[in-house]
A and B are shown apart, each in its own frame.
Chain A
Amino acid sequence: MDSDDKDKAFPSDGISKSLKSFDIHTPIYILTVVFAVIFIIGPLLVRKGPNKEIVRCGIMLTAFSMWIFWVTVYIGQMNPLVGPRLNNTTLAWIAYAWGKPAKTETL
Chain B
Amino acid sequence: MGAMFRSEEMALCQLFIQPEAAYTSVSELGEAGTVQFRDLNPDVNAFQRKFVNEVRRCDEMERKLRYIEAEVHKDGVHVPSVKEPPRAPNPREIIDLEAHLEKTENEILELSHNAVNLKQNYLELTELRHVLEKTEAFFVAQEEFGMDSLTKSLISDEQGQQAAARGRLGFVAGVVQRERVPAFERMLWRISRGNVFLRRAELDKPLEDPTTGNEIYKTVFVAFFQGEQLKSRIKKVCTGFHASLYPCPPSNTERQDMVKGVRTRLEDLNMVLNQTRDHRQRVLISVAKELPSWSIMVRKMKAIYHTLNLFNMDVTKKCLIGECWVPTADLPNVQKALADGSNACGSSIPSFLNCIETDEEPPTFNRTNRFTRGFQNLIDAYGVASYRECNPALYTIITFPFLFAVMFGDLGHGLIMAMFGGWMVLKEVSLAAKKSNNEIWNIFFAGRYIILLMGCFSMYTGLVYNDIFSKSMNIFGSSWFVPYDNHTLESAAAFTLDPKDSYTDIPYFIGVDPIWQTADNKIIFLNSYKMKLSIIFGVVHMIFGVCMSVVNYNFFKRRYSIVLEFLPQVIFLCLLFLYMVFMMFYKWVAYSTFSPDLAYQQGCAPSVLILFINMMLFSSNEPEEGCKEFMFDSQGTIQRVFVLVALCCIPVMLLGKPLYLLSASKKKKDVKPEQSNGSVNQGIEMQEQTDIGDGEHPKPEAKSSGGGGHGGHDEEPFSEIMIHQAIHTIEYVLSTISHTASYLRLWALSLAHAELSEVLWNMVLTFGLKDHDYIGAIKLYVAFCFWALFTLAILVMMEGLSAFLHTLRLHWVEFMSKFYQGLGYIFQPFCFKTILEQEEKED
Contact = CB atoms under 8 A, between A and B. Distances in A.
Interface string A51-95: 111101110011001101110111111111111111110111011
A81 B602 contact: yes
Interface in B723-763: none
B504 A86 contact: no
A8 interface: yes
Interface string B350-392: 0000000000000000000101100000000000000000000
B650 to A, nearest CB: 29
B524 A73 contact: no
Nearest to B603: A81
Contacts of B426: none
Contact of B593 (A69, A81, A90, A94): A81
Interface stretch (B74-82, B129-137, B398-406): B398-406
B372 A104 contact: no
Contacts of A103: 485-486
B499 A12 contact: no
B511 interface: yes
A65 B398 contact: yes
Nearest to B460: A66
B233 interface: no
Interface in A1-38: 1-2, 5-6, 8, 10, 12, 15-16, 19-20, 22, 24, 27
Contact of A65 (B399, B513, B602): B399
Contact of A76 (B487, B502, B532): B532
A92 B486 contact: yes
Given A57-B394, A82-B499, A83-B502, A51 B3 contact: yes
Contact of B591 (A1, A65, A81, A94): A81
Nearest to A51: B3
Q: Which of A61, A88, A98 has the most CB of B within 10 A?
A: A88
Contacts of A8: 483
B485 A82 contact: no
A104 to B, nearest CB: 5
B602 A77 contact: no
Nearest to A10: B483
A72 B486 contact: no
B589 A75 contact: yes
Nearest to B375: A54
Contact of A52 (B2, B536, B593): B2
B485 A90 contact: no
A81 B732 CA distance: 36
Interface stretch (B15-23, B39-47, B222-230, B473-481): B473-481
Interface stretch (B26-34, B282-290, B490-498, B687-695): B490-498
A41 B492 CA distance: 55
Contacts of A20: 505
A87 B496 CA distance: 9
B481 A100 contact: yes
Nearest to B529: A76
Contacts of B662: none
Contacts of B1: 53
A10 B495 CA distance: 19
B464 A70 contact: yes
A84 B485 contact: no
A18 to B, nearest CB: 11
Given A65-B399, A75-B585, A79-B591, A19 B499 contact: no
Contacts of B232: none
Contacts of A45: none
Given A53-B5, A54-B397, A79-B592, A72 B532 contact: yes
B264 interface: no
A75 B584 CA distance: 10
B461 interface: yes
B521 A84 contact: yes
A80 B505 CA distance: 9
Given A8-B483, A10-B483, A74-B507, A81 B605 contact: yes
B484 interface: yes
A58 B397 contact: yes
B454 interface: no
Contacts of A40: none
B510 interface: yes
Contacts of A54: 2-4, 372, 394, 397
Given A70-B510, A76-B529, A87 B398 contact: no
Given A73-B512, A76-B532, A83 B399 contact: no
Contact of A77 (B394, B489, B513, B521): B513
Contacts of B201: none
A85 B398 CA distance: 37
Contact of B588 (A52, A53, A79): A79
Contacts of A16: 504-505
B690 to A, nearest CB: 44
A75 B506 CA distance: 11
Nearest to B505: A20
A43 B520 CA distance: 45
Contacts of B516: 84
B798 interface: no
Contacts of B371: 51
9 contacts: A19-B506, A22-B506, A57-B398, A76-B588, A79-B593, A85-B495, A88-B490, A88-B494, A102-B489
Interface of B: 1-5, 369, 371-372, 394-395, 397-399, 402, 406, 460-461, 464, 474, 477-490, 492-513, 515-516, 518-522, 524-525, 529, 532-533, 536-537, 540, 585, 588-589, 591-594, 596, 602, 605
Given A73-B510, A85-B496, 14 more contacts: A19-B505, A24-B506, A61-B402, A62-B398, A69-B406, A72-B529, A72-B532, A77-B507, A77-B512, A79-B593, A81-B499, A86-B497, A102-B489, A106-B485
Q: Closest 3 CB pairs between A and B?
A: A53-B2, A84-B519, A83-B497
